[in-house]
Amino acid sequence: MTVEHAALALLDSVARSTLQTSFHRPSGPESRRMLRYLRMGNKRIKVMWWFLIIVTVVTFVGGFIFLMGSDLSGSGMARAAGAVGIVNGDRIGRDAWQMAVEEQRAAFRQQFGQDPQDRDAKIVEVQAWRTLVTQRLLAGEARRLGLGASDREVVLALQTSPPSILASNPAFQTNGQFDPQKYAAALQDPSNNWAPFEALVRDQLPIRKLQERLLASIKLSEPELRRAFLDRTERLTATVAWIPASADTGLPAPDEAAIAKVYDTYRSRFASAARTQLDMLIVPKQIGEEEIRAARETLAGIVARARAGEDFAQLARDFSEGPNAEKGGVVDRVLQPADFGPVLGAQVSAMKEGDVSDPVQDGTRFLAVKILERIPNSPSLRAAQIVIRVRPNEDALSRQREDLEALRRRAARVGLGKAAAERGLATARSEFFNESGTPQALFNVPEAADWAVLARQGAVSPVFEGSDEFAIVEVVVQQPAGVPPREVLGEQLRQLADIEQRVERVKAKADAVAAAVAQGRSLEEAAAAEGGQTFRVEGVTRRAPDPRLGGAPEIVGALFGSPPGRVVGPVRGLNGWYFGRLESVSPADTTQLTPELRGQLTQEILTARQQSFFQQYLAGLRARAKIQDLRSAAAAY
């Protein structure tokens, strides 16, 4: 492992968050008249309209807000009332949860052209939960700050920013796109009762105001903009010499003093958001050969019928248990052979339009695909699929779950690793993660990761069931935001300390190169004499340095600050010592800083700053919040 990788592995990436823009909100008596008009209705309201009201009466789907539940003291009362969670005493009702899930399902369908199934359905539920928690946290903060919404603001929002469930409804669309004229006509129709939508928008606006207030202070000065422009456009060409760290296999292991020194040296780089690490037990579901054979033969018979001339789409509607079965199994997006996995992908690559593949097993399901269209001059294609699930023996599956429940109870007393070892099973350690991510091993059971981020260190989870496996996890590290303690970074620190001593081992060579250059030898000759490597870098900017300089980014700044022909260095890097000789600099052409480019740069920089700030703000709210996840107890899904 390179030093760069060892260091960077300690840092969690910051999750991106889409930030909504806000608008001015004047108020006046006309607003109240408009609201009274919008509330008007009669018995001639269309069935579709009532459906929309019922669907959205609990929550504003697609916006930033869901209606606030009643405050309850204690999770027991909340469970009895059907709550799926509590955030700072604010109950999340079952209806709000179900609507949040439906919103995420709709987003999935829009992106992938099919309904989420199995693991995707679970990921959708995880995202819905995280969204609900974020909304509750922001809504609570908005209430604390006294932020509200006037009648005029509600009217403006309904007129100019319709809720997504309205904008996406066919009643307000033309050719699949939102039609402002249809929506405006509906607003003016006195037979439509807008009161439920008014209430939902009224709850949304305080959060938008909160965002506006939070982000208003994030600005970009003219000097900062010009600096950003120069960092992206000023380019240099240079010759670089690198003295690699020692590859000696006989070096002693770093002692505690060396490890402590590395920790102190790189301390700031180890800082991260709050994160969790787990001990994981993943147990595949017990599926007998007879169940597998039955599913394979069922799909083989369907494939044979399709190849004999029966309509594939009708067979999919009749038998498929996969996405879009009611649409003939059509996958509503362009695919690549790699999307089907290595086994089926190889078949797909060789298939022609109209061909139907052999059945292929994917976990607890078999699938076959038909090529509907080949995109000319590319490997891309359109396809339909039929999915048949393997039906495990329910008694055997029930016994397996009972055994795992017993193992879980044992783990709560002695630890998951020991309890698993007593059964001849092995656990695995997860990577660090936070509420924005899920360990790869828990991809099929992401709800286990959601449970873990709220659990105390040492807690053992319930038994979670995925599409193909069961999972039990134990929280082994629950690290708050900031610099983690040394013991948490043990292995990484040892790796860094080992690399540090390897870099230090060749310092004499770097000093010899510096001395030779000072005596008039060329950089190339001096580096070669000490076993170094030289290479040329061209078109390097401060914003996008050459990847070969990743071990010592400081060399780029030193070169930009040096006159042409002068050698700079040695610069100590993460994987050796660096020298550089500036050959030339291509200055930035300030005439290219057009209004369009200024706008692009400003948007790019402000968006990055806003996202970073907002993520830190949310992390602070989460750290101070009391969040209870009661989804399994409420049996909401």
Report domain 289-389's class.
alpha beta
**Per-residue pLDDT at 399 exceeds 60:** yes
Closest of 612, 604, 602, 586 to residue 226, by C-alpha: 602
Lowest mean pLDDT among 63-72, 82-91, 562-571, 615-624: 63-72
Beta bridge partners of 537: 238
The full set of domain ranges for the chain reads 29-217+623-634, 235-271+490-586, 275-286+394-479, 289-389
Higher pLDDT, 558 or 108: 558
**Per-residue pLDDT at 201 exceeds 60:** yes
- Contacts with 539 (C-beta within 8 Å, 6 or more apart), sequence order: 235, 237
Write out pLDDT tens, residues 312-339.
999 999 999 888 888 899 988 888 888 8
**Per-residue pLDDT at 407 exceeds 60:** yes
Alpha helices in 506-553 (DSSP H): 507-518, 523-529
Q: What is the pLDDT of residue 40?
A: 40
Write out pLDDT tens, residues 550-594.
888 899 999 999 999 999 989 999 899 999 999 999 998 888 889
Write out pLDDT tens, residues 475-496.
998 888 888 888 878 888 999 9
Q: What is the pLDDT of residue 373?
A: 92
Q: What is the pLDDT of residue 518?
A: 94
Q: What is the pLDDT of residue 296?
A: 93
Edge-to-edge strand order for the sheet containing 360-362?
360-362, 365-374, 381-389
**Per-residue pLDDT at 57 exceeds 90:** no
Edge-to-edge strand order for the sheet containing 567-573?
533-540, 235-244, 576-586, 567-573
Q: What is the pLDDT of residue 320?
A: 92
Tokens of 511: 């000093």
Write out pLDDT tens, residues 430-442.
998 887 778 888 8
Closest of 21, 141, 137, 205 to residue 606, by C-alpha: 21
Most confident of 85-89, 246-250, 285-289, 399-403: 399-403
Q: What would the mean pLDDT of 23-32 be, rounded to a whole number?
A: 38
Using alpha carbons, list the distances in angstroms from residue 176 to 50, 68, 167, 173, 490: 22, 32, 10, 6, 56
Write out pLDDT tens, residues 115-131.
787 778 888 888 888 88
Q: What would the mean pLDDT of 75-102 be, rounded to a whole number?
A: 77
pLDDT classification of 197: cutoffs 50, 70, 90:
confident
DSSP E strands in 440-575: the ranges are 464-465, 469-479, 533-540, 567-573
Instruction: Report the percent of the chain where pLDDT is more than 90.
Output: 38
237 in Cβ contact with 539 (< 8 Å)? yes
**Residue 447 to residue 636: CA distance in whole angstroms:** 14
Q: What is the pLDDT of residue 512?
A: 96
Q: What is the pLDDT of residue 14?
A: 23
Q: What is the pLDDT of residue 216?
A: 85
Beta bridge partners of 242: 533, 578
The one-letter code for the residue type at 254 is: P
**Residue 538 to residue 13: CA distance in whole angstroms:** 29
Q: What is the pLDDT of residue 315?
A: 94
Q: How many CA atoms lie within 13 A of 316 on its CB side?
A: 23
Write out pLDDT tens, residues 501-554.
999 999 999 999 999 999 999 999 999 999 999 999 999 999 888 889 988 889
Write out pLDDT tens, residues 95-105.
888 888 888 88
**Per-residue pLDDT at 228 exceeds 60:** yes
Q: What is the pLDDT of residue 55?
A: 39
Question: What sign has the CA pseudo-torsion 327, 385, 124, 609?
Answer: negative
Lowest mean pLDDT among 34-48, 156-170, 202-216, 446-460: 34-48
Higher pLDDT, 109 or 538: 538
Q: What is the pLDDT of residue 122?
A: 82
**Residue 532 to residue 576: CA distance in whole angstroms:** 10
Higher pLDDT, 123 or 598: 598
399 in Cβ contact with 285 (< 8 Å)? no
Q: Do domains 29-217+623-634 and 289-389 have the same CATH topology?
A: no
Burial of 597 (0-12, 13-18, 19+ CB in 10 A): middle
530 in Cβ contact with 243 (< 8 Å)? yes
Instruction: Report the percent of the chain where pLDDT is more than 70.
Output: 86
**Per-residue pLDDT at 61 exceeds 50:** no
Q: What is the pLDDT of residue 632?
A: 65
Dihedral (Cα; 194, 200, 201, 202), 10-degree rounding: 110
Burial of 73 (0-12, 13-18, 19+ CB in 10 A): exposed
**Per-residue pLDDT at 12 exceeds 50:** no
Q: What is the pLDDT of residue 408?
A: 96
- DSSP label of 11: S
pLDDT classification of 113: cutoffs 50, 70, 90:
low
Tokens of 110: 């829009």
**Residue 350 to residue 356: CA distance in whole angstroms:** 11
Give the fold, CATH level 3, of 29-217+623-634. Triger factor/SurA peptide-binding fold (1.10.4030)
What average pLDDT does the structure give for the chain?
82
Higher pLDDT, 598 or 54: 598
Closest of 372, 342, 339, 343 to residue 355, by C-alpha: 372
**Per-residue pLDDT at 29 exceeds 60:** no
pLDDT classification of 633: cutoffs 50, 70, 90:
low
**Per-residue pLDDT at 208 exceeds 60:** yes
pLDDT classification of 78: cutoffs 50, 70, 90:
low
Q: What is the pLDDT of residue 142?
A: 92
Q: What is the pLDDT of residue 192?
A: 81
Closest of 268, 218, 233, 273 to residue 593, by C-alpha: 233
Write out pLDDT tens, residues 452-465.
988 899 999 999 99
Give the fold, CATH level 3, of 275-286+394-479. Chitinase A; domain 3 (3.10.50)
Q: What is the pLDDT of residue 27?
A: 39
Q: What would the mean pLDDT of 259-288 be, rounded to a whole number?
A: 88
Write out pLDDT tens, residues 335-390.
888 888 888 888 888 899 999 999 998 878 899 999 999 999 888 999 999 999 98
Q: What would the mean pLDDT of 286-304 be, rounded to a whole number?
A: 91
